[in-house]
Amino acid sequence: MSGIDLRGLNKSELAEYIKSIGEPAYRAKQLFRHIQKHGADDFQSMSDLPESLRSYLSENTSLVMPKIIDQQTSAAEDTVKLLLELADGERIEMVLMLYERWQAHNRATCCVSSQSGCAMNCRFCATALHEHFRNLTAGEIVAQVQIADKLAYDMGFAGITNIVYMGMGEPLANLDAVKKSLELLNDEDGMNIGMRRITISTCGIVPKIREMALWGYQIGLAVSLHAADQQLRQKLMPGAAHYSLDELLDACKYYREKSGRRVTAEYALFAGINDQPSDAAKLANLLTESDILVNIIPANPLPEAGIQPPEEAVINNFCHLLEEKGLNVQLRRKRGADIQAACGQLRRRQA
C-alpha cells in the first residue's frame, strides 16, 4: 500500500477524495464506516464496495495500522501495554486500562501517544530520553484506539469507552493532529466516543490551552504541575516552565470557563524532591482559590534520572496535608508497574 492515508481523513475530506476519483458520494460514507467504525486495515474485506474500487484504493491509498512489536499484560490483568511500530519504523507505546470487569458498565481506557518522543525534556520522563522522534498523524492516533478497542473486546469488555492523551509526547505540541483525531473518534459514524470521555494531558503550554478552550468541546484537561514553585518546576520541567505558574493557572481558569469542565492538576511525587510538607503547603496555597482537582501520583522509578517514589507514609501525609487545606485530592493507584507502564519505558527497554 502507498499514497494518502485514508484513516486520517474526516468525512468531508474523504467525500472530496471519492469525488476526485469519479465515484458516487455514498461510497465515501461506506468507506468512512469501514475505516472509522470498524477499524478496517485492508480494502479487500470491504465486501460492499465493488472489486474495481477496492483494487484502486489498495494500489493508490493506504490504511495506516501500526504493527504490534511487544505486548505485556500486568499480573492483575487490568493493564496491557503495547509497543507499536509505525510505517516508517518509529516506535510508540499505547496502554489499555480495564476497570470494573464484572459490572454492567465496565470501562476500558486507552492511553494514546501523540508523538514518538518529546522535546519538553521533563527530567522524570523516559520519553524525553529518546533523541529521534516526530509528530504522529491523526490516522496514527486513531489507529492506536482501534487496536485497543479490539484488544478490549478480546478481553471481555465492550470496547474502548474512554481515551486519555497521556502517552508518549506532548499533545499540545501536535495540536492540529490531536484535534483532528478526537473529531474522528467522536464522529457518530465512527467510534462515537463522547468528548466528555476524552482527556488531554499537557505539561502546560499556555497559548495552546487557551486555543483548546475555544474549540467548544467538553474535553477533560489535565495539567502536569509536579511543583508549586517556579524554580523547582524549571528544574523538573524545563520545557513547560517557560510559562509562569500564574499564567498557567489563568489559562486553566479560562479553560474551565469556556469548556465547563473542571481542570485536573497532576502532581507526581518524587522522593526527596517535591514530597515534603513544605511542598504540600505551597501546593495548597497555589490552588486554594481554584476548583482544580488534584491527582497525586507516586512517581514511576527512573533510576538513571535519580527518580524514585516516596515511602507510603510520606505519600499519605502529603495527601492528608492537602485535604486539610480543603483541596479536592485523589491518590492515583499505580497500575502496571510490573510491565513498565509509565510512558517511554517499554520503548526505551527495547531500543
At residue 272, what are phi and psi to the nearest 5 degrees? 75, 5
Query: Beta-carbon neighbour count of residue 9 at 10 Å?
Result: 24
Q: Does 266 bind ligand SF4 (CB under 6 A)?
A: no
170 included as an active-site residue: no
Q: Does 120 bind ligand SF4 (CB under 6 A)?
A: yes
Query: Beta-carbon neighbour count of residue 264 at 10 Å?
Result: 21
Query: Which cell goes with 130?
Result: 529518546
Q: Does 92 bind ligand SF4 (CB under 6 A)?
A: no
Smallest gap from Cβ 165 to ligand SF4, in A, equals: 10
Alpha carbon distances (Å) from 191 to 22, 35, 80, 183, 274: 28, 10, 21, 10, 40
At residue 164, what are phi and psi to the nearest 5 degrees? -125, 135
Among 15, 118, 198, 321, binds ligand SF4 (CB under 6 A): 118
Report d(CA 245, CA 332) in Å as an integer. 23
Among 5, 41, 140, 170, binds ligand SF4 (CB under 6 A): 170
16 included as an active-site residue: no
Query: 186-205: which residues touch ligand SF4 (CB under 6 A)?
Result: 203
Of 76 and 119, nearer to ligand SF4 (C-beta) is 119
C-alpha angle 335/336/340, rounded to 5°?
130
Of 125 and 177, nearer to ligand SF4 (C-beta) is 125
Among 108, 122, 222, 223, binds ligand SF4 (CB under 6 A): 122
Among 49, 80, 98, 125, binds ligand SF4 (CB under 6 A): 125
Query: Beta-carbon neighbour count of residue 185 at 10 Å?
Result: 25
Query: 317-346: which residues touch ligand SF4 (CB under 6 A)?
Result: 343
Among 66, 169, 190, 310, binds ligand SF4 (CB under 6 A): 169
Report d(CA 267, CA 224) in Å as an integer. 6
Q: Which of 93, 140, 170, 266 is catalytic?
A: 93
Active-site residue list: 93, 343
Give the interface with ligand SF4 as residue ranges (CB under 6 A). Answer: 118, 120-122, 125, 127-128, 168-170, 203, 343
